Structure 1
């Protein structure tokens, strides 16, 4: 397996700073969520269609692979106008991913809005994420559903396929969220392994259904070693990325502390 990190760890950084952090930490993969303080990646000059090739070369010349564009696309609304806007966001982000040579675009199932009928919402999410997967496939990019929100368990993810979701939708295994919802790593892999394309790792002092916080890798309560053991046993050859949510939680440690710490611990665990 190969190691990398999400730019949510350094939300205000530009590309040169991201590259420098990855190289100094000995990491190979980049997942773009934030750049220059924004998640609106299409607004950035470096990610304009005319400059994507140049930006891709900057990463490649540094020996780095852009693996994922971390979109916030979700299809949990029933309003057709809202759904159309999400599909347009998928097109824009898939185009950026393709231009950077990233094989994946992250999507969410999202929380189930309490004011909406549960069954109708689940059916709409299954249909909508399938439509998004078809859109990104047109760009040569695979949509990957993060285990998160109301889709943090294997059963909740598999239910979308039972409802007819396009099989082109794959899975991003966020290990913290499956763990805090009671799943053992080996059980998650047994259920979702053939669909998993990418993995997130982060640690937490508190990690249960009521919520979580943030701890430097190996210093919290999450059984980080168990994820690496399962991935190694399965022969997983994809990327494992550190997702340090500095972009949403500015009070946590800076990336120049947390990212190299993750890299060091992950290597000690045999990654």
Structure 2
């Protein structure tokens, strides 16, 4: 498996620093937060997109994902969601990223209604994703935290260019064990997002291996399934300013994930 880290939960870092951190600490790729306040977003010109690509290529680090913020299960008109999705698909294609991340965001809608919103929108952009060679990945999150929740939507879509991100924190807090999540997401799985937290109630981020999440079990399940994709570490300092800085934790995180992989081989 390849290892990545995410810029989702850290204050905006220049691309040069992101790439340097990844290369220096032994990560193969980076999940890029695509937002107007970040260095990478859909408003970049063609030249600016090419400059981002060149920066990554210099160090041999891959752009794993354009992490967009579309909420595909949210109530309301489809068009703004579809416009946002298509813009991020084009950005990912220009950057050479294989994936675009989206959220469910169904809020208080009944599950069946939220599922239909999400499935309709994902199906609408699936041909665009296929044409661009990019896959849209629905993260296990908010209104759809478990693998079973995400799989309901993906089953309705039934398209190879639409899949899932398995966020281990959300599936575990939703009551699923890794041995339950993996079988339902395996046909759709783009990659796995890992982190560690203090407890079920306290999601303060912790260094990998120091919290309560079933990371060893997750890697074991993936290895038994002969899954050979990406593990992406997400450290959400952005919302927890009191925790340690990302750079000092990158090497320990990579070492911990490498140990888990070695122990599960």
TM-score normalised over the length of structure 2: 0.90
Q: Answer whether contact 2:34 2:42 (CA < 8 A) is retained.
A: no
1:54 aligns with 2:51: yes
**Secondary structure at 1:253's aligned position in 2?**
coil
1:59-98 equivalence runs, <5 A: 59-80=56-77, 83-98=78-93
Distance in 1 between the 2:152 and 2:202 partners? 23
Q: 2:115 aligns with which of 101, 122, 125?
A: 122
- Cα distance, 1:180 vs. partner? 1.4
Please list the CA deviations of residues 181-236 of structure 1 after superposition, one character each: whole Å capped at 9, or x if unmatched. Answer: 121112211111121011100001112xx563321100011121111111222222
Structure 1 unmatched runs, 5+? none
Q: 1:193 aligns with which of 142, 165, 186?
A: 186
Instruction: Note closer, same or farther for the CA distance 1:188–1:117 as it changes in structure 2 (3 Å cut).
Output: closer
1:223 aligns with 2:220: no
- Cα distance, 1:21 vs. partner? 0.9
Distance in 2 between the 1:150 and 1:39 partners? 29
Aligned position for 2:148: 155
Distance in 1 between the 2:244 and 2:217 partners? 24
Please list the CA deviations of residues 140-165 of structure 1 after superposition, one character each: whole Å capped at 9, or x if unmatched. Answer: 21001111112111221222245x32
Aligned position for 1:261: 252
Provide the aligned C-alpha RMSD in A.
2.1
Stretch deviating more after TM superposition (236-245 or 48-57): 48-57
1:252 aligns with 2:243: yes
Aligned residue-pair number: 261
Please list the CA deviations of residues 118-172 of structure 1 after superposition, one character each: whole Å capped at 9, or x if unmatched. Answer: 533331122112223333333221001111112111221222245x324231011
- Cα distance, 1:117 vs. partner? 5.4
1:100 aligns with 2:92: no
Stretch deviating more after TM superposition (31-40 or 165-174): 31-40
Q: 1:132 aligns with which of 122, 125, 132?
A: 125
Aligned position for 1:241: 232
TM-score normalised over the length of structure 1: 0.88
Instruction: Note closer, same or farther for the CA distance 1:118–1:262 as it changes in structure 2 (3 Å cut).
Output: same
Distance in 2 between the 1:156 and 1:35 partners? 26
Instruction: Note closer, same or farther for the CA distance 1:36–1:17 as it changes in structure 2 (3 Å cut).
Output: farther
Instruction: Note closer, same or farther for the CA distance 1:232–1:120 as it changes in structure 2 (3 Å cut).
Output: closer
